Amino acid sequence: MASYRFHRLTAAGLPERGMLRLASGDPVTAMEYLERDGSVVLKVTPVPALFRFWARLSVYGFQGVSRSETAQCLETLAAYLASGIALADALGDLRTQTREPELRQVLGHLLVDVSSGVALSRAMARHEHIFSPVTTTMVGVGEEVGELSAQIRAAAEHLRHMEEIAKLARRTLVYPVITLSVLLGVLLFWVLMVVPALAGTFEDLGRELPGTMRFMLGVSAMLHEHGLALAMALGLAVPLLWLTVKKSTLVRGWRDKLSIRLPFVGPVVAQAAAARALELLGVLLGNGVAPDKSLDLTCKATHNAHYRDILKRARRLISGGVPLSTALARSKGFDDAAVRLLHAGERTGRLKEQCEAAAAEYRRRLSHSVQMLSKMVEPILLVVLTLLLAFFILGFLAPIYQTLGGM
């Protein structure tokens, strides 16, 4: 998927800047795509993958199209279609009402595509960063069976469930991230401001610096002398590391396998990935998608590389004639309770409902694990803060008091 920054004049003569993603890597194709609605393209610039984040930041700022916003957009579109409004008119109204810049531009692209005779599912597939493969598949099924509004509403409900799972997984990180950020800020303040002042006090008193203070003073001097260079190196290293993790299948596999095996955090990661996979499978199977195709789409939509490998193993087993429940059991990514629910669904012809029940059970466990982990993190961080405070007292304040007491 190639990315471009563009600057154009719309058909109404208004200037517009934005970003565009296309399967083609040809700027001429991007220009032709942008001029289909009568706009005049002033400039199109390809954006390398390394600088995609910064380019998007310069165009849209820190705002992004969240999963909740996409779900709300789909729900409104489904309501328009159910009331008898034509698809092109519904997209036009949605574009006018939407405030989020990127989503408004994407809706404009969808409107032009649909007005040109392109199916909505195909138009959505060109914007995979907003509409997932599962969403476009559900829309495509709705187009085939003549139930577009119902399938769009189901896709919105599916996105709501995905957002619920993501929120539960993120909730475990909020308290530790805030606490560690404050801790890092306090540590930098001590190293850069307090330690040099304390060192001057010891020198004025003619006393030898304690070992801990000499070490921290060396760190402080290094930050004062090379702080800008270190910050620039960190600013380059973080995007490079992010790109390496995103592009390298091997690195992503190591990362995800390690995260699942970590104590305390591993069960949360595994339950979130399993709940997401079963939710996707239930939605796809319920829309008449074959099990092998459902697994293919679920693999594509699964971010966790470890669980993607598990689903690929199950896909190979299904190709050999193995039932879905047996394939998932042999892939060793889902517990016995989930497998039994799927097996019961295969026997009763209610596989969609049983997938949803298994996903709901994993969400319940995930919620419980998040609560337990949050309760465990608080005392651990309290111990860390206590040890750090003891280090500062024994390493810095105690020698000062001893010196003042000996005068």
Q: In what order do the strands lie in the sheet with 40-47?
A: 15-22, 2-9, 40-47
pLDDT at 192 over 90: no
The answer to whether position 168 is within a domain reads no
The reply to whether 32 and 74 lie within a common domain is no
The answer to whether position 365 is within a domain reads yes
The reply to whether 179 and 155 lie within a common domain is no
pLDDT at 210 over 70: no
The reply to whether 177 and 127 lie within a common domain is no
- Mean predicted confidence (pLDDT) in 289-308: 83
Q: Name the average pLDDT for the chain.
A: 80
Looking at 53-67, 184-198, 328-342, 374-388, which range is the least confident one? 53-67
- Mean predicted confidence (pLDDT) in 375-396: 74
pTM: 0.65
Query: Regarding predicted confidence, which is higher, 351 or 61?
Result: 351
pLDDT at 79 over 90: yes
Query: Regarding predicted confidence, which is higher, 392 or 362?
Result: 362
Residue 75 pLDDT class (50, 70, 90 cuts) = very high
Query: Regarding predicted confidence, which is higher, 397 or 276?
Result: 276
Query: SS3 string of the chain?
Result: CEEEEEEEECCCCCEEEEEEEECCCCHHHHHHHHCCCCCEEEEEEEECHHHHHHHHHHHHCCCCCCHHHHHHHHHHHHHHHHCCCCHHHHHHHHHHHCCCHHHHHHHHHHHHHHHCCCCHHHHHHCCCCCCCHHHHHHHHHHHHHCCHHHHHHHHHHHHHHHHHHHHHHHHHHHHHHHHHHHHHHHHHHHHHHHHHHHHHHHHHHCCCCCHHHHHHHHHHHHHHHHHHHHHHHHHHHHHHHHHHHHHCHHHHHHHHHHHHHCCCHHHHHHHHHHHHHHHHHHHHHHCCCCHHHHHHHHHHHCCCHHHHHHHHHHHHHHHCCCCHHHHHHHHCCCCHHHHHHHHHHHHHCCHHHHHHHHHHHHHHHHHHHHHHHHHHHHHHHHHHHHHHHHHHHHHHHHHHHHHHHCC
pLDDT at 76 over 90: yes
The reply to whether 273 and 402 lie within a common domain is yes
The reply to whether 384 and 323 lie within a common domain is yes
Return the pLDDT at 133.
79
Return the pLDDT at 407.
54
- CATH code of the domain in which 130 resides: 1.20.81.30
What CA–CA distances, in Å, run from 62 to 55, 99, 266, 383, 390? 11, 14, 30, 35, 39
Return the pLDDT at 230.
82
- Of 60, 84, 109, the one marking the end of a domain is 60
Residue 399 pLDDT class (50, 70, 90 cuts) = low
Looking at 28-37, 39-48, 314-323, 388-397, which range is the least confident one? 388-397
- Mean predicted confidence (pLDDT) in 345-351: 87
pLDDT at 331 over 70: yes
- Mean predicted confidence (pLDDT) in 315-337: 88
Return the pLDDT at 187.
77
Return the pLDDT at 62.
63
- Of 60, 79, 96, the one marking the end of a domain is 60
- Mean predicted confidence (pLDDT) in 49-78: 78
Return the pLDDT at 23.
67
The reply to whether 185 and 147 lie within a common domain is no
Q: Which domain holds residue 27?
A: 2-60
pLDDT at 100 over 60: yes
The reply to whether 16 and 139 lie within a common domain is no
Query: What is the domain count for the chain?
Result: 3
Q: Please give the structure tokens belonging to residue 45.
A: 């610039």
Residue 208 pLDDT class (50, 70, 90 cuts) = low
The reply to whether 225 and 338 lie within a common domain is yes
